[in-house]
Amino acid sequence: MPDDHAASDLSADQLDRLIQLDELLRTEGDSGHVSSDLAGARRVLKALHAQRPAADATIPPPPKNIPLHIGRYEIYGLLGVGGFAVVYRARDDLLKRDVAIKIPLPYRLVNPDARHRFLREAQTAAKLDHPHIVPAYEAGEDGPMPYIAYAYCSGPTLATWLQQNGPFAPQDAARLVLNLADAVGYSHEQGVLHRDIKPSNVLLFPRTRAPADATFPYIPRLTDFGLAKLAETVHQDTRSSMILGTPLYMAPEQIEMDTGEFVQETDVYGLGGILYETISGQPPVQGGSLLQVMQTIQEGRLPRLSDVKPDVPEELSVICSKALSADPADRYRTAIQLRDDLQRYLEGRPIAARMPGTVKRIARFITAPARMWEAGGYVIFANVIIAFWAAGWLAAIALGVPIAEGTRINDILLETCGLICAHFVCAGIGWAIIQGRAWAAIASALIALVFVTRTLVILLRISHEPLQSIFPNERARDVVLSMITVVFGIQILLCLFAWLAIRKQTRLAQRRRPPAEPAR
């Protein structure tokens, strides 16, 4: 399995080719004739999709030749280089102010989608005017080179500040995230989803006149709307909208979605991650391979804030847990709701956050995607074991082992061989359950029901079938049949859970699927 370190070994061209291959695999898979090998390849490629941001996030070497001017801006020096763009510090002599000029890396402009993404960032930034969003002054082109001029920030990013100074006091963290939540709520009202909220995308602008009671000498402002999506175009460009974001801070739906459709709750999750890290000093998800991180996020196995930081107020821990819920329906529906709850906490009023009740948590557990793997694995394991046990019984009779004494192989050969074949077929159906086939879950449950019914009929003496040719000892027969009843009873339960999980995933996929393009 590839991990997060392997991502940096993949070039952008290689990843683009892998993505194109995945499109072909998806087309074949949708036709219903995808082979197990191709299905396995798709799983690997989906993991590589998630690694693409990690590869993009690797910082290339600074450009060798720093331009003297971009447009009317005089370049002073390099501020930073990312996987997509380079940022220079510049001077606007016309308005007598410093700015941060962002331009795409030259090799990125070869890809039309990358250029479109940069221009979309400029379009997005132009829509937003909020005290906690980094303002964009101008977007233009210097020859073939597009650029965006942002307000220059002489302070660090929130990520850098946390590394150097450690976590915030709970009250200060709540105030900071409250301001960011207000900014995100404003951007949502403008039809803009950020999709990559994390500490490194929060710039800290030094306060010129700090209030007397201010304990934090910076104004936090959200930046980098490079992954932002305008809500009115949420269904467009779906082929190029692969899994975007930074893995440690991605919401579960960002990992699961293939269409790139996001919701406001996705940004709420990012705000919850910032609240968690500013208080605890660590992100909600710790290290490990990329696939381990993805699995932890999808299953919602994040440690509660109060477990990591025992002295944190319980109300703040509940707010954080709600914002970081694995299911978007369990989070705050809007960033404004999160802002309002943080305001209640700061004012000492009762918060509105309530975690899901026991019944809802059980329902979430039953319909989790992991139930498909558990049910399929159990069906495969149980049926293969029973098939080999039956084959071993035939071998014992043929070899004259004392345990099978008195049983004639001709009396049970045909029926036992049929059962062995049936159990191997069931094992194959178990693999289809892992692939997310609803029919396989129902078929496996029905087959198990037939076995359970047959064994119960004999155990309850409804039928007088003695099975003496197989079990001369009636007590031994009852013990074996009781074990089989338990095994297949568990199979029925797990397959029903898997069926519910598959139905839920299918409904989510249908809801996220973009509308069909009109015929030309």
Q: Which amino acid, residue 384?
A: V
Angle 162-174-79 from CA coordinates, rounded to 5°: 35
Instruction: Please report, in angstroms and rounded to a whole number, the separation of the first and last CA atoms in the chain.
Output: 43
Q: Which residues are catalytic?
A: 196
The residues pairing with 145 across neighbouring beta strands, listed in sequence order, are: 142
DSSP state of 149: E
CB of 279 closer than 8 Å to CB of 170: yes
Q: Which long-range contacts (CB under 8 A, 24 or more apart) does 136-142 make?
A: 137/92, 137/99, 138/71, 140/71, 142/69, 142/70, 142/71
Tokens standing for residue 445: 């449950």
CB of 319 closer than 8 Å to CB of 341: yes
CB of 259 closer than 8 Å to CB of 241: yes
DSSP-based three-state secondary structure for 229: strand
Query: Which helix (H) or strand (E) segment is 387 a member of?
Result: helix 370-399
CA-to-CA dists, residue 421 to 88, 263, 477, angstroms: 69, 48, 22
CA-to-CA dists, residue 360 to 162, 251, 357, 364, 503, angstroms: 36, 20, 5, 6, 17
Tokens standing for residue 422: 């049936």
What is the DSSP pairing of strand 73-81 with strand 69-70? antiparallel
Q: How many residues are listed for the chain in this entry?
A: 520
Tokens standing for residue 6: 């392997």
Tokens standing for residue 117: 């993404």
DSSP-based three-state secondary structure for 375: helix
CB of 219 closer than 8 Å to CB of 295: no
